[in-house]
Amino acid sequence: MLHEAMSHSMLLTGAIVCGCVLDLIFADPVKLPHPVVIMGSCIRRMEHFLRSRFPAGEKGELAGGRILAALLPPCVFVLTGAVCMLSWHIHPALFFAVESIWCAQALAARGLANEARAVKAALKRKDAIRTAEGTDAPTADAPASVSGDSAAPKEDPLNPARRQVARIVGRDTDSLDEAGIIRACVETVAENSSDGVIAPLLYMLIGGAPLALAYKAINTMDSMIGYRNDRYLYFGAAAAKLDDIANYLPSRIAALGWIAAACADPSSDGPNAWRIFRRDRRKHASPNAAQTESACAGALHIALAGPASYFGRLHQKPWIGDNDRPVEAEDISRSVRLMWIAGSCVFAAGIGIRLLILLR
C-alpha cells in the first residue's frame, strides 16, 4: 500500500511537470474540450436556474449566489477526482495522461504571453500605419480626416490594439490612448500571472489536477459574476469573496516570485520592486490584485492602475508605483519576461519541496 501511494505521488509529480511543459508548448489547443469552457456553461445555466427559483432583490440574489459558489467548486473537485482515481485503477499510464492534460489546461502561461504579445504587435502595426501615412493618427476624441465628401473615414490606428487588449481586460477599452493600452496589458500580465499561472500551479502541487480545476472553477465564477455592478452586486458577492480567499496566499507568493524575477532580470529593479510592493500592495479594492501589480510597477519603474472605466462608469482607482518614466510598448515584453521567470521560480521551488517530501 505504501509503495502504491509512493508510485502514485511520483507519477503525479511527473504529470505536473508534463502539464507545465504542455502548456509551455501548446497553450490551449482550440480543438480540445476545455474544462473552463464547460465550467462557464455550467455557471450560466446555474445562474439562470437559481435566479428563477429565488426572488429578485438583495436577499434572494445573495442566497442564489451562495448556493452557486458552494456547489460548483466541490462538484468539479469530486468529479475530476473520480475520473483521475478511475484512470489510476485502469492503468497508471492513463492516469498520467489525464493528469497531464488537465494540469496543462489549468495553466494559462503561454496563452497569456501570446495575448500580450498580440497587443504589442497591434501597437507596432499602428506605428507602421502612421509612418506610411506620414501623419499622426487621429486621437480617440478627434474625427478621422476624410478626402472628399464620399470618402470613408479612416479607422483610428489604435483601434486594433484596443480590440486586442479588450480580450484580456475587464475595463472599457474604446477610449484608451496608447499609454492606457500598455498599462492595461502590463497590469493584466502581472495580475493573471497569479490567477492564471502561479495559483493553479500551487494548487496542483498540493492536490493535482482536481484541486487546480476546483480553483479554476472559483476563478471562473469570479470572472463571470464577481462584478460590483447592478446585475451581480449581490448574486456575485459570494463568488468574489471565495476568489479573494482562494487567492490570498497564492497572490503573495506570486508577488515574491516577481520580486525574485526582478532581481534576476538585468533590465528590472529588484530592490525597487520590493519597495513598491511593501508600499502599494494594498492599493486596490481587491486584497490580492495589487500584490503582483505593485511588484511589477516597482520592477519596471512605471505607474500602473489609476482611473479606469468599467461598464461606462469611471472608477477613481489609486495609482500603483511611481511615474519615473512614461510607459512604452517594450514594457509589455518586459512584463511577460518577468512572468516567465517568476513562474519558473515558483515551479522550481514547488517541485523541489514536493520531491523532498516524497523522498525523505
pLDDT value of residue 2: 54
- Find the farthest-apart pair of alpha carbons in the chain and give their distance in angstroms, rounded: 83
pLDDT in tens, 288-312: 989 999 999 999 999 999 898 887 8
Q: Helices 35-53 and 92-106 meet at what angle, rounded to 10?
A: 70
| Mean pLDDT of the region 275-289 | 92
User: What pLDDT is stored for residue 3 in this prediction?
Assistant: 64
Helix 199-225 vs helix 330-359: angle between axes, to the nearest 10 degrees? 130
Residue 142's pLDDT band, with cuts at 50, 70 and 90, is very low
Alpha carbon of 45 to those of 101, 267, 273: distances in Å? 26, 47, 43
CA pair distance 284, 292, nearest whole angstrom = 11
User: What is the grid cell recorded at 351?
Assistant: 517541485
* Closest residue by Cα to residue 156 from 173, 141, 139: 139
Per-residue pLDDT, 316: 87
Mean pLDDT of the chain: 90
Task: Give per-residue burial for 19-46: e unless 16+ CB within 10 Å, then b.
Answer: bbebbeeebbeeeeeebbeebbebbeeb
Of 2-6, 14-18, 354-358, which gets the smallest average pLDDT?
A: 2-6
C-alpha 309/C-alpha 170 separation (Å) is: 9
Under a CB-based contact definition with an 8 Å cutoff, are residues 339 and 197 in contact?
A: yes
Query: DSSP of 26-95, one letter per residue?
Result: H---TTS--HHHHHHHHHHHHHHHHHHHS-SSHHHHHHHHHHHHHHHHHHHHHHHHHHHHHHHHH-HHHH
Domain ranges of the chain: 2-119+163-359
Q: Is the pLDDT of residue 145 over 50?
A: no
Q: What is the pLDDT of residue 313?
A: 84
Under DSSP, the state recorded for 194 is I
Cell numbers placing 334: 518586459
Using DSSP bridges, classify how beta strands 308-310 and 319-320 pair: parallel, antiparallel or unpaired: unpaired
Cell representation of residue 196: 492564471
Under a CB-based contact definition with an 8 Å cutoff, are residues 342 and 258 in contact?
Answer: yes
For residue 242, give the nearest of 210, 262, 220 by alpha carbon: 220
Q: Residue 111: which pLDDT band, with cuts at 50, 70 and 90?
A: very high
Q: How far apart are CA 186 and CA 123, in angstroms?
A: 14
Kindly tell me if the per-residue pLDDT of 196 is higher than 90. yes
Q: Is the pLDDT of residue 240 over 60?
A: yes
pLDDT, position 137: 46
